Amino acid sequence: MLGKVVISHEQIERVVRKMAEEIDSDLEGRSPVFIGVLKGCIYFFTALTQAIRHPVEVDFVQTSSYGSSTTSSGSVVLIKDITTDVRDRDVYLVEDIIDTGTTLWDLVTMIQARHPRSIQLVTMLSKPSRRKTDIHVDFIGLEIEDIFVVGFGLDFAEQYRNLPDIHEFIPEE
């Protein structure tokens, strides 16, 4: 069941602008490739990269760890790999939300094996109380409580991604 609005679209827009400014100042002298983690990142990724003033290259990777559940299975499956050569490049790995950190940990390990110059982690939302990995996130939009949320790319069983606001989602018993 769709619950209350947790983050309004106006708040999201402000967060994205602020993050884009911070990342822009980090891009001086870098050769960036922004890698979005599909499918959830698509709205945030698009808004963020459009707000960045530096030229950026984009690519996508797709994983799955939730299926039709509100909790991560802990098992990350790679569905789509990147096609960009990231050797000696500055990678900005962009997520919609970091929960346990397991997916991101696996992706960072995969990308590090391809010898990038650097990897910066970017997320719109972070749930630090759920972390199972000790992963450093370079750019965080907002920290949220341990609730399941949908909207602005976040889904439950592929539903609700298109909502402009972020809502709490309460599974029906």
Model confidence, pTM: 0.91
pLDDT (tens digit, 9 = 90+) per residue, 50-63?
999 999 999 999 98
End-to-end CA distance of the chain: 10
In the chain, pLDDT over 70 holds for what percent of residues? 93
Order of strands, sheet of 149-150, starting from the edge strand that comes earlier in the sequence? 2-7, 166-169, 149-150
Topology given in CATH for the domain delimited by 12-147: Rossmann fold (3.40.50)
Task: With a cut of 60, say whether residue 173 has pLDDT above it.
Answer: yes
Amino acid type, 101: G
DSSP state of 154: B
Helices (H), 27-164: 42-51, 102-112
- Is there a catalytic annotation at residue 99? yes
pLDDT (tens digit, 9 = 90+) per residue, 131-153?
999 999 999 999 999 999 999 99
Active site residue: 96, 99, 106, 165, which one?
99
**Domains in the chain: boundaries:** 12-147
Task: With a cut of 90, say whether residue 82 has pLDDT above it.
Answer: yes
